[in-house]
Amino acid sequence: MADITVQKVTAENDPLFYKIPWHIYQDDPNWIPPLIQDTKSVFDPDQNSFYHKGQTEQFIAFRDGKPAGRIAAMLNSAKDYQSNPKLGGFGFFECFNDQRVADALFSAASDWLMSKDLEGMRGPINFGETDRWWGLLIENFKEAPTYGINYNPPYYIDLIEQYGMVKEHDQLSYKIHLEAPIPERLKRIANRAIRRNDVQIRMVNLKNLSEEAEIIRTIYNKAWQEMDIEDFFDTFTPLTSTTVQQMINELKPILIPEGVWLAFVDNKPASFVLTIPDVNQAFRYLDGKFNLLAKLKFLWHRKDINRLRVIAFGTVKKFRRMGLEAAIFAKGLSHIKNNLPQYSEVIGAWTGEENWLMQRSIEGAGGEVYQKHRTYKLLFSNK
């Protein structure tokens, strides 16, 4: 029987933690290598403001001395100790199809979280915002992943469930085909909103990005703090100015004004949508690097990007049912169709299965569910 060992990540084996996916996916044509610097930034206190309120521990599994998997355990002290039960998190799980290796990794994460007085864990999650690397892919393994969206082999479902984890919630991803006409109902609702004298809708001003980011932060925090979904958003953590500026600085090189729309009512921030090109279509050729040669490759392949990804959208509660979502969706789709014909589809990711309001908005814009991700949970008392 193979010898299974697990090691904490140290300065010596740190590079291996980030390269393990290359071992797992070497024969998978759909996998797109993530930028190593993107993953490293999650575990760098100088780049990730979540370290002000939490900590992580990373582990690598070996089978007969060869790397066989990895996992990270995560603790957000600002909210994990306030949840009931008190749940930490795990993420960045990668593993060969070996239940013993998976069990050893999950146990390492569990033991670390138990040592921090937590009662369970959930995951896969990211030590940061939910716009990237959350959830386990459970439906549709036939397409290459969109930027920031987790991709994994189907057997990960069995590895996680055989350890005893159960579903916490699912997230839906939608696809909108841009060659299809904008739905007439969407246009009617949008036109009613646009004709109102108190409504103003415009594209983002990329020359004034810091101020525009604060407008988005204001809308986002109010929208998600006031969601009418019982228990689901009770642990919502408002975005800070620091976090938003970090996100904007990362996205700034790829933002297009046609992808970011803001709506105001009586000049008060009311609704927004943030969409970016799917840079994964260019990252496919970089092998996880972003040195000078990789940057040149990115600039060359950027012209081949034909997909967009919705990062986030939201509407302040008191301005809902005014048709603002329809208005910014319709305007955004129209401008992209007319000015950026290279784009053929839009991916709207991370819509909670309980979030009927967002589902209705995306489906009204012509979106169809095409992928599903699941967040699992485990109570340590059940092990």
Residue 348 CB neighbour total at 10 angstroms: 28
Tell me whether residue 107 is exposed, middle or buried, using C-beta atoms within 10 angstroms of its C-beta: 0 to 12, 13 to 18, 19 or more.
Answer: middle
Superfamily classification of domain 4-171+376-382:
Gcn5-related N-acetyltransferase (GNAT) (3.40.630.30)
- Exposure letters 265-304 (e unless 16+ CB within 10 A, then b): beeebbbbbbbbbbbbbbbbebebeeeeebeebbeebeee
Partnered with residue 378 across adjacent β-strands are 121
Locate 109 and state its tokens: 């994460």
**3-state secondary structure at position 376:** strand
Distance (Å, whole) CA 170 – CA 147: 19
Ranges 87-101, 222-236, 306-320: which has the least confidence:
222-236
Angle at 22 (CA atoms; ends 20, 23), nearest 5 degrees:
70
Distance (Å, whole) CA 265 – CA 151: 39
Distance (Å, whole) CA 169 – CA 208: 37
Distance (Å, whole) CA 101 – CA 194: 56
pLDDT, one tens digit per residue, over 330-377 is 999 999 999 999 999 999 887 888 877 778 888 888 999 999 999 999
What's residue 276's pLDDT? 94
pLDDT, one tens digit per residue, over 299-324 is 999 999 999 999 888 899 999 889 99
Whether the domain at 4-171+376-382 and the domain at 180-343 fall into the same CATH topology: yes
Distance (Å, whole) CA 167 – CA 147: 24
- CATH C-level class of 180-343: alpha beta
* Amino acid type, 57: E
* Amino acid type, 169: H
Distance (Å, whole) CA 142 – CA 156: 15
Is the separation of the CB atoms in 118 and 87 below 8 Å?
A: yes
Q: Which residue bears the tokens 């012209």?
A: 303
Q: Can you say whether the dihedral through the CA atoms of 66, 37, 302, 30 is positive or negative?
A: positive
Q: Tell me the longest C-alpha to C-alpha distance in the chain.
A: 74
* Amino acid type, 91: G
Is the separation of the CB atoms in 291 and 324 below 8 Å?
A: no
Confidence bin at 238 (pLDDT 50/70/90):
confident
Ranges 125-134, 137-146, 209-218, 278-287: which has the least confidence:
125-134
Residues 6+ apart with CB under 8 A from 77: 53, 54, 55
Is the separation of the CB atoms in 249 and 297 below 8 Å?
A: no
Is the separation of the CB atoms in 78 and 128 below 8 Å?
A: no
For the chain, give the number of residues: 383
Share of the chain above pLDDT 70, in %: 97
Ranges 223-227, 282-286, 343-347, 379-383: which has the least confidence:
223-227
Which tops the pLDDT comparison, 314 or 279? 279
User: Where in the chain are the domains?
Assistant: 4-171+376-382, 180-343
Q: What is the DSSP string of 160-207?
A: HHHTT-EEEEEEEEEEEETTSPPPHHHHHHHHHHHT-TTEEEEE--GG
Confidence bin at 47 (pLDDT 50/70/90):
confident
What's residue 83's pLDDT? 86
Distance (Å, whole) CA 347 – CA 276: 10
Q: What is the DSSP string of 212-264?
A: HHHHHHHHHHHHHHT---TTTTTT--PPPHHHHHHHHHHHGGG--GGGEEEEE
Locate 236 and state its tokens: 């919502």
Segment 187-203 shows an average pLDDT of 94
